[in-house]
Amino acid sequence: MKKLIITIMLFFTVYCFNTAYAALELEIVGGQDIGYPIAVSDFASQTNPQVAKDLSAIVRNDLMFSGKFSPLSPSRMPQQASDRNQLKLDLWRELVNAVAVGNLETVGDKFKLTVQLVEVAGGDVIISKAITFGRSQLRTAAHTVSNQIYEAIIHERGAFLTKIAYVSVKHGQQYPYQLVVADYDGYNEQVILRSREPIMSPTWDPKDTRIAYVSFESRHPAIFIQNYKTKQRIKVAQFNGINGSPVFSPDGSRMAMVLSKDGNPEIYVLDIAAKTLHRITNNRVIDTEPSWDPSGNYLYFTSERGGRPQIYRVSVNNPNDVTRVTWDNVANLDPVVAPNGRSIAFVSRVENSYRIATQDLDTKYMMVLTNNKFDESPSFAPNGSMIIYATMVRGKKSLALVSADGRFQANLPSSSGAVSAPAWSPFFR
């Protein structure tokens, strides 16, 4: 398949959105032409044509970013149209399966965007929606349209209104280590914590806007929970030795973590409200990197108990119930369970390279998705469609995306600093 390298520097084209700043840029490295063929025509507007055009560009970018669509480039569009009646379907049939058209009006101090999605073959209107929004909500409005299109065509929930948390490191600054929350596409970056010492392993509460992470600010690691909206922060663990790998249970009431207070790294489960700690693993080698399955009954984790690190599953209620999950390749580490619970993504060591892989939990079928050398920290989008992870892009720690089937791949090179440890948020209500 033809590999295209397209760098999209959206912050040049949407210069008018002065509150939005993206330090991450999307760079598609594979699978750009494999998705559902769609056209998002430039939205029309009597009063704010540039804003309308920018909104349609965000929608096109979202759909491409999802890996499930191949949006037609505006330069290849045979006509301009702002609603269904203006569309000459014959012109589009060779090009795409569906066309989105839209019109932006001003209503008081707000915008109203009317969007229709038209199936080219039969001319059916699949979506016809109007949304009203404030001038500071342009990106939210565009992502809302993207979600509607995604859901109509793909029949699963779109993740365009979700967030990512990650760690940014800028050596040489007073506070080199920063914990950042941004829109899923890298816009609207918000630093929520900065420190002279490392910050690790951010992870979201699946039911809330809370993030847990490890901070070395006291020169020893401690696990904190911080609400990125209210800024409230509590320390939940600071024992002797390692305090690492925090991960909330699916209902947000418990947290699995790794502590070495009893001698070597073991997995524990903390009941957050009751403040009680339960030891899950107990042996003389490293056990780390727990991830809950959606039932909350099992943890998948990395263990050296078989020699090299491999992935195992343990029952939280019966810690003697342990099964080995991965068998292929030299080593497999850092599992994360897919939102539907049917597969895991993890880091697989292939000779001397560390790559993102998945394994189906029923069939045991394992698939290496990436072809890099230094991949780590996989995290699923809440709809399971994509995996975000950290890797090296041209010698710099950066984020990257791969679709869960491995076909679509994109880099998110950072325009400043080294970026790692991405964590994709849940859907927010």
What is the contact surface with other proteins in residues (CB under 8 A)? 171, 175, 190-198, 200-201, 215-221, 226, 231-242, 244-245, 258, 260-265, 270, 275-279, 286, 288-289, 302, 309, 333-334, 347, 349, 352, 354, 374, 376-377, 392, 395, 418, 420-421
- Note whether 253 and 273 are within 8 A (CB): yes
Nearest distance, CB of residue 229 and other proteins, angstroms:
10
Shortest CA distance to 119 belongs to which of 34, 35, 36? 36
Closer by beta carbon to other proteins, 70 or else 377? 377
Closer by beta carbon to other proteins, 200 or else 410? 200
Nearest distance, CB of residue 232 and other proteins, angstroms:
5
Nearest distance, CB of residue 390 and other proteins, angstroms:
9
DSSP letters, 345-381, are EEEEEETTEEEEEEEETTT--EEE----SB-EEEEE-
Nearest distance, CB of residue 9 and other proteins, angstroms:
25
User: Radius of gyration over alpha carbons of the chain, in Å?
Assistant: 23
Closer by beta carbon to other proteins, 97 or else 238? 238
Closer by beta carbon to other proteins, 108 or else 395? 395
- CA–CA distances in Å: residue 266 to residues 261, 263, 283, 327, 333: 9, 9, 8, 22, 15
The whole-angstrom separation of Cα 222 and Cα 235 is: 7
Q: Quick one: CA torsion of 215, 221, 226, 232, rounded to 10 degrees?
A: -100
Closer by beta carbon to other proteins, 51 or else 314? 314
- CA–CA distances in Å: residue 27 to residues 1, 39, 95, 189, 398: 17, 20, 24, 19, 12
Nearest distance, CB of residue 355 and other proteins, angstroms:
12
Closer by beta carbon to other proteins, 81 or else 269? 269
- Name the residue with tokens 């996989």: 378
Nearest distance, CB of residue 198 and other proteins, angstroms:
4
Closer by beta carbon to other proteins, 160 or else 204? 204
Nearest distance, CB of residue 376 and other proteins, angstroms:
5
For 332, the enclosing helix (H) or strand (E) is strand 331-337
Grouping H, G, I as helix, E, B as strand and the rest as coil, residue 412 is strand
Q: Based on the number of CB atoms within 10 Å of its own CB, is 296 exposed (0-12), middle (13-18) or buried (19 or more)? A: middle
